[in-house]
């Protein structure tokens, strides 16, 4: 496989993991009755819950990208973080353009791009450290 294709696939896989996990969790929360159905707005604690699990899924996306990257795993995670930041900023623009408070609290819309960089970076670092420790154990004849 060509290296650029493997790199693009690693970044796309991290994005898909984050997006699918977030969407699936939202659907489960609505189906279970934890999140109210539209047009009712969620309370701030429920938005905080959504922000928390989205942060975890964003770490998982960074981890996935770095684990699948053919080389320079953290660099690939940074690329995913940039994409997440742009997508999150687009969400903030949409929030203020479409209706603001009718969609939920501003802090929630802003939290998505704010958490993109540190969460993806953390996932990338976790995967990179796992990769380096796995290589070290392969080279150590005593393990």
The residue whose two tokens read 């994409």 is 83
Residue 101 is predicted with a pLDDT of: 80
What's the rounded mean pLDDT across residues 19-28? 97
Asked whether residue 139 carries a pLDDT value surpassing 60, the answer given is no
Gap between the Cα atoms of 25 and 5, Å rounded: 30
Structure confidence by residue, pLDDT tens digits, 35-80: 998 778 899 999 999 999 999 999 999 999 999 999 999 999 999 9
Residue 72 is predicted with a pLDDT of: 94
Asked whether residue 140 carries a pLDDT value surpassing 80, the answer given is no
Encode 2-36: b = buried (16+ Cβ within 10 Å), e = exposed.
eeeeebeebbebbbebbeebbeebeeebeeeeebe
**pTM for the whole thing?**
0.88
Gap between the Cα atoms of 8 and 38, Å rounded: 36
Q: What does 32-67 look like in DSSP terms, one character per residue?
A: TTSSPPTTSPPPHHHHHHHHHHHHHHHHHHHHHHHH
What's the rounded mean pLDDT across residues 84-96? 95
Residue 92 — very low, low, confident or very high, per pLDDT cuts 50/70/90?
very high
Residue 100 is predicted with a pLDDT of: 79
Report which DSSP code applies to 70. Answer: S
Gap between the Cα atoms of 129 and 143, Å rounded: 18
Gap between the Cα atoms of 99 and 5, Å rounded: 39
What's the rounded mean pLDDT across residues 96-109? 89
Report which DSSP code applies to 103. Answer: T
Gap between the Cα atoms of 102 and 32, Å rounded: 23
Q: Pick 131 or 9 by higher pLDDT.
A: 9
Structure confidence by residue, pLDDT tens digits, 110-138: 999 999 999 999 999 999 998 777 665 55
Gap between the Cα atoms of 98 and 108, Å rounded: 15
Residue 130 is predicted with a pLDDT of: 84
**Cα 52 from chain centre:** 11
């Amino acid at each position: 496989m060509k290296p650029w294709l493997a790199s693009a696939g690693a970044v796309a896989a991290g994005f898909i993991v984050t997006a699918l996990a977030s969407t699936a969790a939202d659907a489960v929360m609505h189906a279970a009755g934890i999140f109210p159905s539209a047009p009712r707005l969620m309370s701030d604690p429920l938005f905080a819950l959504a922000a928390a699990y989205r942060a975890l899924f964003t770490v998982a996306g960074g981890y996935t990208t770095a684990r699948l990257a053919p080389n320079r795993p953290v660099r690939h995670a940074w690329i995913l973080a940039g994409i997440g930041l742009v997508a999150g900023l687009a969400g903030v623009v949409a929030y203020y353009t479409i209706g603001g408070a009718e969609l939920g609290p501003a802090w929630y819309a802003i939290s998505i791009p704010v958490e993109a960089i540190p969460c993806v970076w953390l996932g990338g670092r976790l995967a990179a450290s796992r990769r380096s420790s796995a290589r070290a154990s392969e080279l150590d004849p005593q393990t």
